[in-house]
Amino acid sequence: MRPLIVPTVSTGLRWPHIAREPERGRPARRVWLVPLLVVCGQLALSGAAQAANEKNPKLAEAAATVPTAFELQRLYADHTWLWKDGAAYFGQTGRPLRAWVSGQDSASVAEGRWLVTKDGKMCMEVAWRSKSYKGKQQRTCYSHRIEGGAIQQRKDPDGVWYSFKRTPEDPSDEYRKFEVGDTKGAQFEETRKLIDSKN
């Protein structure tokens, strides 16, 4: 009696196990079937987990870590964040926070403070004003998370996550719009004087 060599289903290679010839009235054991079923089950479970993460972004967010307050402090302190029509300067210790925008029809300035929290937020507490408007102090926060070695940011409470800072840098990173120091202080002062003038 010669032993049978059973080929695998997926590769056609010879399976190293030897199957016995069927005994009377009993089919041959399918030793190769068990590993195949295990692999299929793992693939099905991982696909279901990925689909659950896509349906529930809270699970995906739970996988990300949050930068420490110290890490956020280092990103913002003594930096100017350039915007399309203005900028904001973040002082060394949370004060000052000065910002300005100069649109085509109106100019505004804001003064206040900024702070970081242990849950990955940077918040700005400022009151915006223009020639025709004097606002109350408001708080605007940005959440940060670290995913895959990159820092992402979103405006709270429900903004969309976007790339803030990667290593190595990417041209689309928001952090490329940050400059060390108070680089737009002169523009802030010009805008403030224009707003505060009696004209």
Does 46 have pLDDT greater than 70?
Answer: no
Does 7 have pLDDT greater than 50?
Answer: no
56 in helix, strand or coil?
coil
Does 197 have pLDDT greater than 60?
Answer: yes
From 63, 82, 110, the end of a domain falls on 63
Within this chain, do residues 86 and 103 fall inside the same structural domain, yes or no? yes
**Rounded (to 5) percent helix, strand, coil in the chain:** 25, 35, 40
Distance of CA 122 to the CA centre of its chain: 14
Within this chain, do residues 83 and 115 fall inside the same structural domain, yes or no? yes
Within this chain, do residues 98 and 130 fall inside the same structural domain, yes or no? yes
Does 48 have pLDDT greater than 90?
Answer: no
Say if residues 110 and 129 touch (Cβ distance below 8 Å): yes
Cα gap 185→187, rounded to integer Å: 5
Within this chain, do residues 38 and 77 fall inside the same structural domain, yes or no? no
For residue range 103-126, list pLDDT tens digits in order: 767 899 999 999 999 999 999 999
From 20, 47, 63, the end of a domain falls on 63
Within this chain, do residues 17 and 114 fall inside the same structural domain, yes or no? no
Within this chain, do residues 49 and 81 fall inside the same structural domain, yes or no? no
Within this chain, do residues 48 and 90 fall inside the same structural domain, yes or no? no
Q: How many CB atoms lie within 10 A of CB 76?
A: 22
Within this chain, do residues 58 and 77 fall inside the same structural domain, yes or no? no
Cα gap 125→110, rounded to integer Å: 9
Within this chain, do residues 20 and 80 fall inside the same structural domain, yes or no? no
Note the pLDDT of residue 191: 92
The whole domain housing 44 covers 4-63
What would you measure as the largest C-alpha separation in the chain, in angstroms? 110
**Percentage of the chain with pLDDT > 70?**
67
Distance of CA 79 to the CA centre of its chain: 21
From 28, 46, 63, the end of a domain falls on 63
Within this chain, do residues 100 and 192 fall inside the same structural domain, yes or no? yes
Within this chain, do residues 140 and 48 fall inside the same structural domain, yes or no? no
pTM: 0.66
Note the pLDDT of residue 87: 97
For the chain, what is the domain count?
2
Say if residues 117 and 123 touch (Cβ distance below 8 Å): yes
pLDDT, the chain, mean: 78
Within this chain, do residues 107 and 47 fall inside the same structural domain, yes or no? no
